[in-house]
Amino acid sequence: MKNWVSVIIFSFMKGLVRIMSDTIAAISTAIGEAGIGIVRMSGKESLDIANKLFKGKKIEKLTESYNRRLVYGHIIDPKNSEIIDEVLIAFMKEPYTYTRENMVEIYCHGGIIPVRRILDLVLEYGSRLAEPGEFTKRAFLNGRLDLAQSEAVIDLIRAKTDKSYKVSLDQLEGNLSKKIEEIRNILLEMIAHIEASIDFPEEDIEEITYEELEEKGRIVYEKIGKLLQTADRGKILRDGLNAVILGKPNVGKSSLLNAILRENRAIVTNIPGTTRDIIEEYVNIDGIPLKVIDTAGIRTTDDIVEKIGVDRAKEMVDKADLIIAVFDASNELTEEDYQIIDIVKNRKSIVLLNKTDLPNKYDENLLKELIPDKEIIVTSIISGIGIDRLENAIKKMFYSGNLLVESDILITNLRHKNQLIKAKKNIEEGINGITSNMPLDCIEVDIKNCWKNLGEISGDTVGEDILDKIFSEFCIGK
């Protein structure tokens, strides 16, 4: 076992002790009007840079003895002694910081100008602009967070409902990592026993039997399978559902969007072809983040702008988790309706028969015949009738019961899911090897691969390219 484990541990340690010599800086709060804005620095020079720019009301210089204390004063441009802003400043001494490096945070006024000018100064006086996610990347490389926890940070920031927030928080607390480590420990035990049997066959070490290996392999297989089962629910919680509203012009699609959002987001008129572009908004339906997408009415048109809108609507259909098809009950089925029926036939969809407050010209039975397996909800969106039924149907369709069972660990991240799929495949091959009495060293290859696959979730065995990809998806300043 020594060689490959030491190679992995060595490369990991190299990452850990890698000297990230330059000091990075970024605006860590959202840009816009706000009470407070924060400019943050991390790295060896952060205290020195701060001291070039900060003048305290009561103290001349910030020193390490001010660790974790807020100090009041001004940021002053050394070139011309111009006061840039009145601030509070905090120095945090390594290693007990987010990045495990020396950090300085400057709390200034939250307008675009003060944060921008303070950032410009800290860059001018010795720091460089942080890359997206670089603070968290340093926290990872310096061993403060593992990779799954680091990924939870960005999920937490982007969480759209309380439930998805809770799942991210659990992951940040390390619950997923613990689960993964538990499985990897079983694998490590298996590997250790196999290695001992191979390396010291003549010594009096109790050899692991194939039965014992199989039993452990099956436990691993089952545990991975259980985690994978949560991935669909996890994805919905994290990314939400894409629900595309589809229908011919004037059936009430934009009215539906507004009714779901309970605000007048989209323009509604009685002129067919009102909506020409995609309108997307999030709404929280009992913990499920639902991205509702209003589209241009589907029809053949010579109007260039409208035509682009119709093409976009059709593109959205491919990405949709759910199609809400709207039909107008006060008119007969038209050619365009048949097009919509064709699209929804083989897709996860809910059908709304709208404008039922008007005299009915629609043959509902015909619709039922054309799409027999679809739930048809009768609505009068203009009077708010049927919206609750639609919401219930969505809930029922995507998750019957509780979306988040207490103490559940959910796989929310596609990268984790893919690693688990690989790990499951490798342990499955390992078990096949065991049951067909393959030589131990062959079996060991599969078990090691499974161990490595899982290690990529926690970041224990992960390449620089994957790290770069993960952190590039972060926002700057985190």
- Give yes or no for residue 250 binding ligand GTP (CB under 6 A): yes
Residues constituting the chain:
478
- Give yes or no for residue 316 binding ligand GTP (CB under 6 A): no
* Vertex 175 angle, CA 170 and 178, to 5°: 165
CA distance 157 to 139: 17
Cβ-contact 83, 96 below 8 angstroms: no
R_g of the chain, CA atoms, integer Å = 29
For Mg ion, the closer CB: 266 or 290: 266
Site for ligand GTP in 275-314 (CB under 6 A): 275, 296-297
- Give yes or no for residue 450 binding ligand GTP (CB under 6 A): no
Helix (H, G, I), strand (E, B) or coil at 376: strand
Give contact residues for Mg ion (rule: CB under 5 A).
253-254, 274-275
Cβ-contact 353, 273 below 8 angstroms: no
For ligand GTP, the closer CB: 173 or 315: 315
Q: Which does 247 bind (CB under 5 to 8 A by kind): ligand GTP, Mg ion, none?
A: ligand GTP
Q: Name the burial class of residue 129, with classes exposed (0-12), middle (13-18) and buried (19+) by CB atoms within 10 angstroms of its CB.
A: middle
For ligand GTP, the closer CB: 43 or 249: 249
Cβ-contact 218, 384 below 8 angstroms: no
Q: Which stretch binds ligand GTP (CB under 6 A): 125-133, 136-144, 176-184, 269-277?
A: 269-277
Please enumerate in sequence order all residues whose Cβ is within 8 A of that of 120, keeping only pairs 6 or more positions apart, or say none. none
For ligand GTP, the closer CB: 54 or 362: 362
Residue type, 133: G
For Mg ion, the closer CB: 89 or 245: 245
Q: Is 275 annotated as a binding residue?
A: yes
Q: Is 271 annotated as a binding residue?
A: yes
Whether the CA torsion 174, 179, 183, 186 is positive or negative: it is positive
What is the pairing mode between strands 322-328 and 349-354?
A: parallel
For Mg ion, the closer CB: 242 or 274: 274
Candidates 62, 381, 390, 394: give the one binding ligand GTP (CB under 6 A): 381
- Give yes or no for residue 247 binding ligand GTP (CB under 6 A): yes
Q: Is 297 annotated as a binding residue?
A: yes
- Beta carbon of residue 339, minimum distance to ligand GTP (angstroms, whole number): 14
- Give yes or no for residue 43 binding ligand GTP (CB under 6 A): no
Q: Which does 287 bind (CB under 5 to 8 A by kind): Mg ion, ligand GTP, none?
A: none
Q: What are phi and psi of 327, to 5 degrees?
A: -125, 155
Q: Which stretch binds ligand GTP (CB under 6 A): 112-120, 339-347, 380-388, 407-415?
A: 380-388
Q: Is 174 annotated as a binding residue?
A: no
Largest CA distance in the chain: 91
CA distance 472 to 467: 8
Q: Is 294 annotated as a binding residue?
A: yes
- Give yes or no for residue 354 binding ligand GTP (CB under 6 A): yes
- Give yes or no for residue 270 binding ligand GTP (CB under 6 A): yes
For ligand GTP, the closer CB: 234 or 252: 252
CA distance 113 to 127: 19
CA distance 137 to 46: 18
For ligand GTP, the closer CB: 299 or 452: 299
- Beta carbon of residue 366, minimum distance to Mg ion (angstroms, whole number): 25
- Give yes or no for residue 355 binding ligand GTP (CB under 6 A): yes
C-alpha dist (Å) from residue 39 to 44, 104, 164, 399 = 16, 8, 28, 42
- Beta carbon of residue 298, minimum distance to ligand GTP (angstroms, whole number): 8
- Beta carbon of residue 473, minimum distance to ligand GTP (angstroms, whole number): 34
What is the pairing mode between strands 128-129 and 24-27?
A: parallel
Residue type, 165: Y
Q: From the centroid of its chain, how far is CA 135?
A: 18
For Mg ion, the closer CB: 275 or 380: 275
- Give yes or no for residue 253 binding ligand GTP (CB under 6 A): yes
CB atoms within 10 A of CB 427: 31
Helix (H, G, I), strand (E, B) or coil at 336: helix
Q: Is 295 annotated as a binding residue?
A: yes
- Give yes or no for residue 268 binding ligand GTP (CB under 6 A): yes
The token pair that represents 63 in the structure block: 């020193």
Q: Which does 354 bind (CB under 5 to 8 A by kind): Mg ion, ligand GTP, none?
A: ligand GTP
- Using CB under 6 A as the criterion, which residues of the chain lie in contact with ligand GTP when the complex forms? 247, 249-255, 268-270, 272-275, 296-297, 354-355, 357-358, 380-382
Known binding positions for GTP? 250-255, 269-275, 294-297
Known binding positions for Mg(2+)? 254, 275
Known binding positions? 40, 105, 144, 250-255, 269-275, 294-297, 478
Known binding positions for K(+)? 250, 269, 271, 274
